[in-house]
Amino acid sequence: MALNLVIVALLTLIIHTAETLSYSVRFAGVKLNKIAVALSLTGIIVLVSRTANLIQAPLTAKFIDYARIHPEFDVMQVLRLILLSGSAGTVIAIALFPTFVNLFGRVISKLEVVGSLPKLMTSVTFSQLRNTKHYLQRPSFHLRQFRYLGVPKRFIILNILVTAFYSVGVLASLYAAHLSPELSTTASQASGIINGMATILLTVFIDPQLGVITERALHHEESKQQLGKIYMLLMVSRFFGTLLAQTMIAPAAFLIGFVVQWI
């Protein structure tokens, strides 16, 4: 089980790092006034995240199967460690944000020239990969830089909640299956109950506001300068969302169990 936990933790780390770094693609696109190209590149990040998620979910389910045979096995502790790896992935993405803004800026510019992603990938040379060290940049993080960004507090709070819901959805459904063995199959497939709440919040409150912020930055230089700080603020709020998810595993599992019993 130790090796399985390491693999799941690494996959979770990759998922959260990739999803959080999607902000760097958006920001690079805004800086170059090529947001459409940037948004197309986010599909690659989504693909990486979803592929890792497809592998992660069945591997995580093995812990539930193992706990049925070994009652002394602490499932909750394992789930908390998995969530902690998600927090670590978010921190890594925050640290890499300036570097990946520079890298994706170069990728977007070259993609516009070659015309397609396969051509872009085949045109990369070893010397170009070696030159990526010139794009390295340390993140600059000061609390006072977030004071006058004009981002509503409710927007940040909602981003924290959405991240927490998404982070805990699959894990809560598996824990619900552990708590209700007689409904384990149904409960393990019911992550949509929690993820559905997150999707509603994301679609109704988060995406439109983020779109307005990004569109404003495309047309106003002052807003463009602030956009990087806003994205950094959103990434920090994602980190707090992964921490909040630690407290939501049990309540979300009980909610799933309650709903499943009435289906």
67-98 pLDDT, tens digit each? 888 888 888 999 999 999 999 999 999 999 98
The model's pTM is: 0.86
21-48 pLDDT, tens digit each? 988 888 888 888 888 778 778 877 777 7
Q: Which amino acid is at 66?
A: Y
State the pLDDT at residue 148. 46
* C-alpha 99: how far from chain center: 18
- Return d(Cα 115, Cα 74) in angstroms, integer: 52
| Residue positions counted in the chain | 263
Q: Which amino acid is at 15?
A: I
122-168 pLDDT, tens digit each? 666 666 666 666 666 776 665 555 554 667 788 889 999 999 988 89
pLDDT band with cut points at 50, 70 and 90 for residue 263: low
Which of the pair, 255 or 181, is modelled with greater confidence? 255
Q: What is the DSSP string of 150-215?
A: ---HHHHHHHHHHHHHHHHHHHHHHHHHHH-GGGHHHHHT-THHHHHHHHHHIIIIIHHHHHHHHH
Residue 80 burial by CB count (10 A; 0-12/13-18/19+): exposed, middle or buried? middle
183-195 pLDDT, tens digit each? 777 766 776 777 7
Q: Which amino acid is at 210?
A: L
